Structure 1
Amino acid sequence: MKNPSLDWKILDWAAPILTLSIDGETHQLVLTGSPRRPRWSWKGSFQSGLQPGASAGGQPVSDGSTVSPMPGTVLEVRAKPGDEVEEGQTLVVVEAMKMEIPVKAPKAGIIAKVEVAQGDAVARGDTLIALEED
């Protein structure tokens, strides 16, 4: 499909993961919820069709916390307390349904607390890393 400023197409749909090509780059969107209360994870931050800024667990993500987009196992933690990070930087990689899902910083800031370690089991909506503004 085309838009004057965006060229995108669906590459794969293996529920709950939608793989898209946007301007030649591949992205994954994790869909959860129901048709009446849709939620999706884009680059590690949860969004909701009815409650903007809500995570899967109902906690706001505007505080900069990153949450797990689905149940899985922490494969890698790429940040530690005190690290300065940029918006979109991968902080944690979660394995779920045989896929590696990067969980990215929703904004630039400093890592306040890391809540998980490699090998930890996480549930959808669990806080992985707390981020404070610069």
Structure 2
Amino acid sequence: MSTMPQVPDEMRMKHLELLQTTIGRLGTNSFLIKGWAMTVSGGLITVAMGSAGWAVAVIALMMTSGFWLLDTYYLEQERLFRSLYDRSVAPDSAQVPLFSMDAERYAQSVPWRRVALSRTMALFYGTLALVDIAVALALLTTS
């Protein structure tokens, strides 16, 4: 017989809904960051190719790198909260305190570098960075 007090199902469901809302919000933030990254990088590259020169293309590369780091943070947080959610729905979920939002305990299972270099992140931001570099080099050699 368990010594842990039984938690009503409706309280456990509210906890899971809270976690789902947080995961959804983090996913939305990641999506918005990708949109801003593409817009800012594309705009700066367009300006650089116009008459501004290679320095603006380098600024586009720095902006792309910054968006990559910020998106990595949000994606890492989303994965941490997914781990907390998975643990909360597990059969032995009584070990997860009710309404706990402490996802940091799963930080070792979600390494930052693996998130930053995941296939989707590397393809998206790597492509933007390569375009930025290519334009900067092309403008540098023509000036």
TM bucket, shorter chain: under 0.3
More helix by share: 2
| Greater RCO, CA 8 A, separation 6+ | 2
Q: TM-score, normalised by structure 2?
A: 0.21
Q: TM-score, normalised by structure 1?
A: 0.21
* Structure number with larger C-alpha Rg: 2
More strand by share: 1
